Structure 1
Amino acid sequence: MWGEQKRGIHVSQAELLCKDGCGYYGNPAWQGYCSKCWRERIRKTETNKPENGLQGDGGFQLTFSKFEEKKNVEKGRRSSTMKRLFWGTPSPPRQETSEGQEAALKAFQSLEPGDFPGFLKLLRKPISQRLHSRCTAFLNTIEAYHDLPVEKQSDLVQDFYQNIAVHFNGLPEAQLSQMMEHIEKLIMTRLHKVVFCHDSCDDEQKDLILQRRIKSLNWVTPQMLRVPFPKGGIDSDPYLPAITAIIEMDAKRAPQDKLTCVSKCSQNVFQALALTNSQPANADDFLSGLIYVVLRANPPRLHSNMNYITRFGLPHSLMAGETGYYFTNLSCTVAFIEKLDGPALNLTPEEFNSYMNGHRAPPRPLESEGQRKARENQEQMEDLQKRQENVNQGVQAFQEQLEQWVRSVQEKMDEIAAQSQLLENRLSLEKSAAIARDQSVLVLRDNASNETDPGETEC
């Protein structure tokens, strides 16, 4: 039935790429462009604004001259601010010797992939003093200017990434990426509380809107999304690991750690799809599975987390590779959920509105023979478990009664022993008293006989 219906969820590979055709992945947050092309467009737009002021009569010339003066003052402030950001002092840094640079590069090159604790230890050594000072100065400055708009903070962080990469120019590209990921984790773990869900943006309101939207779509079934399920898998959801991974994203601080959760979620979706298909899953099946996972999970602060990644994550993590592909699909998933309608689910507008208003419940899918047997076996197992629990409860009650009877018998025996001891003591006392009486009678008799004998002799 579902195989005969037209698929409403379809995204081609070309739709995931940047609109400028640079070959990198685009993103709805950047209107379909990659981060590099998007920033270039923003810079061109800002550059063209003063030029528009020149087109006009002489009345605009004075305004433009004042604008240029203000711009130069602002430029000087930004220059001194950037020096504080990157050097920590108003004066330029001292040039490092070639020997010191080579020693630092060799030390960084010796690190194992993903060894962030080792990177922190190496950062505290004298050979990394300049790099450590720049990172510390940048962190202190951003925390001091925490009231800056979040987009401005994003620009400063991205500029810092570009400038700090000079320290690792001698490393291979793979190790350079590793070092920059360490820098990102170092910087953003500390700045998370400052820039995440900033007051200057409406991320929190969009989070609430998205959560309510997902909650209102809790009636959507895997069959409506055409998500493949393994046969007989009615008792356990094969997409549960993916659901857990996407929920864990909110607990992470560094953008790369959040991206790791997205990658883990996507890989678990592919594994669940592999259980149902003999051939590799296509892009449409993957997107359908990811939509199902997000609807089931309703991840906390999903909109804020995605904006946090796009604003403060390393560009190469989002523009190419597996992480870029997975994150682009997640962005498409959110966009699809926000615009979800009846035709995408093979429903008429009337049916879609009926489901949304709660007037209609989705039909329960027909069980196959294997599913029916599995359900019956499950019911039998539950019945046996209940019987076993009743038997265990009866055995426990019998043991408690037996222990209580043993305790009562022991108490009776102790009571009888105590009474026997008292009786023995009483008999011994009575016997001692009787002996004492007999002895006193004998003494009296002896005394009486002694008193009568002398008279008889005298007579």
Structure 2
Amino acid sequence: MWTDKQRGIRVSQQELLCKNACGYYGNPAWQGFCSKCWRERARQAAASTPDTRPSSDGTPLTFSKFEEKKNTEKGRRINTMRRLFWGGPSPPKRQDSSEGFTNVLKAYQSLEPGNFTGFLKILRSPSSQRLQSRCTAFLNTMEAYHDLPVQKQSDLVQDFYQSFAEYFNSFPEAQVTQIMEHVEKLIMTRLHKWAFCHDSCDDEQKDLALQRRIRSLNWVTPEMLCVPFPDKETTVTSDPFLPAITAIIEMDAKRAPQDKLACVSKCCQHVFEALSISNSEPTNADDFLSGLIYVVLKANPPRLHSNMQYVIRFGLPHSLMAGESGYYFTNLSCAVAFIEKLDGPALNLSPEDFEGYMLRQRAPPGGNKREQVASDTQHLLEELKGRQENLDQGMDALNVQLKKWVEAVNSQLDEASAQFAQVQKEITAQADVPSSSQASLQGEDKEQSRVVLTDLHEGPKDTDC
């Protein structure tokens, strides 16, 4: 299974490019064309489609007139919107700028990459009143006509991008791209609540269908997709694809198409990092696509179809047609298309085995690395629980020993205090005895002194001699 790489997952670099051979990336949502070629083909088809319905086809004449009037009214509404945006039926050409407008263009030219706050400050400056009025008029009118079909809204937004970029024709292409990314973020952050998952399309139903499809494939293992996964000997604390799963889930929380694309790019970069950890060989395009399919299956991102369609309809064309973001988004589209058509041979399974897995009648083999990681984690948790119980028991025993030690110390203190009191009494008693004997001795000395003095006072006595 691991050596069989010539399967449905394999997509060559040529297959990712536009079918019109323009050199840009195509997309399954555009039937393999890039956004530019797809829009040109759609407009040509709409312009060249004749009204083949004969006047005598049995349809009432009043209905034909109603349809004609309806189409005329719709065209008048579109032209009215264009005049509100651009002041005429078609976008105006940039005329000679005044000195103030020339200065504000220099300010845009000196804008640092990614400085959206600085862009807003320049746009709100008095010298940039012309551009600010264009943006404000476009936003107000789009919100007023938010019930237009989502494809019409997409065409209007793309036309606005093209018209707005004409003000910066003298700038290098990289700077124009940078400025238009700020414009896209400003416009679509305001229009997100009107344009995302519009009522005129079936995005919500397709979201639910895709979510159910991914949920039914949660049994697919990395081995089935030929995704390199860390061995038991490799020191990996968790699923290496977890950062990529988190990044793709965050896409639904963003409003601007470029921010959603940034989440896709971040997810794909994490996929490359996880593959470099899991595989000793250099990562190729087949491994990357397989890893991205695995991430989408395990993440099951919310409203994935709506988010991708939102980027396709309202994102800047250059972001999807070329560059790193275009490559990553095309691979994500291929991954979703692969999941929608996934069958047994694509996973190197027989139709019977595939049907058994889908009906939950069979379980995948026990070689699932994620199950092994979960089992090891559960074992570690049980071991930590046992160590915690032993620690609690040790703490209880230590508390008992501490109480006994305190009681013994208090008993010794009481005994020592009693002994000290007894010794103090004995010392006091011994101190009282010498004082009384000394007093009696002093009395005797005084008596003897009195007798001697008396004898001396009486003088010598007569003797018989």
TM-score (norm 1): 0.78
**Of 272, 275, 289, the match for 2:274:** 272
Conserved in 2, the CA contact under 8 Å of 1:34 and 1:319? Answer: yes
Matched, 1:394 2:364: no
1:201 Cα deviation (Å)?
Answer: 0.7
Moved more, 149-158 or 277-286: 277-286
Conserved in 2, the CA contact under 8 Å of 1:111 and 1:119? Answer: yes
Q: Aligned partners of 2:312, 2:290: CA distance in 1, in Å?
A: 23
Conserved in 2, the CA contact under 8 Å of 1:210 and 1:338? Answer: yes
Q: Aligned partners of 1:375, 1:334: CA distance in 2, in Å?
A: 27
1:74 Cα deviation (Å)?
Answer: 5.0
SS in 1 for 2:139: helix
Q: Deviations over 1:17-44 (max 9, x none)?
A: 1111111111111111111111111111
1:167 Cα deviation (Å)?
Answer: 2.0
Q: Deviations over 1:63-94 (max 9, x none)?
A: 9999888766654443332121245999x999
Q: Aligned partners of 1:74, 1:308: CA distance in 2, in Å?
A: 24
**Of 283, 299, 302, the match for 1:300:** 302
In percent, how many aligned pairs have the same letter?
63
SS in 2 for 1:165: helix
SS in 2 for 1:112: coil
Conserved in 1, the CA contact under 8 Å of 2:79 and 2:89? Answer: no
1:276 Cα deviation (Å)?
Answer: 3.0
Moved more, 274-283 or 208-217: 274-283
Q: Equivalent residues in 2 for 1:66-145 (5 A)?
A: 75-86=75-86, 97-145=97-145
1:46 Cα deviation (Å)?
Answer: 1.3
RMSD: 3.6
Q: Aligned partners of 1:404, 1:217: CA distance in 2, in Å?
A: 61
1:3 Cα deviation (Å)?
Answer: 1.9
Rg larger in structure: 2
**Of 319, 322, 334, the match for 1:320:** 322
Q: Aligned partners of 1:343, 1:293: CA distance in 2, in Å?
A: 20
Matched, 1:244 2:246: yes
Q: Deviations over 1:80-130 (max 9, x none)?
A: 32121245999x999663422321111011211000111111111012111
1:160–1:401: structure 2 CA closer, same or farther, 3 Å change rule? farther
Query: What residue in structure 2 maps to residue 365 of structure 1?
Result: 367
Unaligned runs of 5+ in 1: 409-459
Q: Equivalent residues in 2 for 1:2-41 (5 A)?
A: 2-3=2-3, 7-41=7-41
**Of 334, 347, 350, the match for 2:349:** 347
Q: Aligned partners of 1:220, 1:237: CA distance in 2, in Å?
A: 15
Q: Aligned partners of 2:75, 2:395: CA distance in 1, in Å?
A: 82
Q: Aligned partners of 2:75, 2:346: CA distance in 1, in Å?
A: 51
Q: Deviations over 1:333-373 (max 9, x none)?
A: 11100100000000000000011111111111299xxx99x
Q: Aligned partners of 1:309, 1:197: CA distance in 2, in Å?
A: 11
Q: Deviations over 1:129-153 (max 9, x none)?
A: 1111111111111111111111111
Conserved in 2, the CA contact under 8 Å of 1:241 and 1:268? Answer: yes
1:138–1:399: structure 2 CA closer, same or farther, 3 Å change rule? farther
Query: What residue in structure 1 maps to residue 218 of structure 2?
Result: 218
1:9–1:89: structure 2 CA closer, same or farther, 3 Å change rule? closer
1:39–1:64: structure 2 CA closer, same or farther, 3 Å change rule? farther
Query: What residue in structure 2 maps to residue 335 of structure 1?
Result: 337
Q: Match of 2:193, as an amino acid?
A: K
Q: Aligned partners of 2:245, 2:175: CA distance in 1, in Å?
A: 32
Moved more, 308-317 or 102-111: 102-111
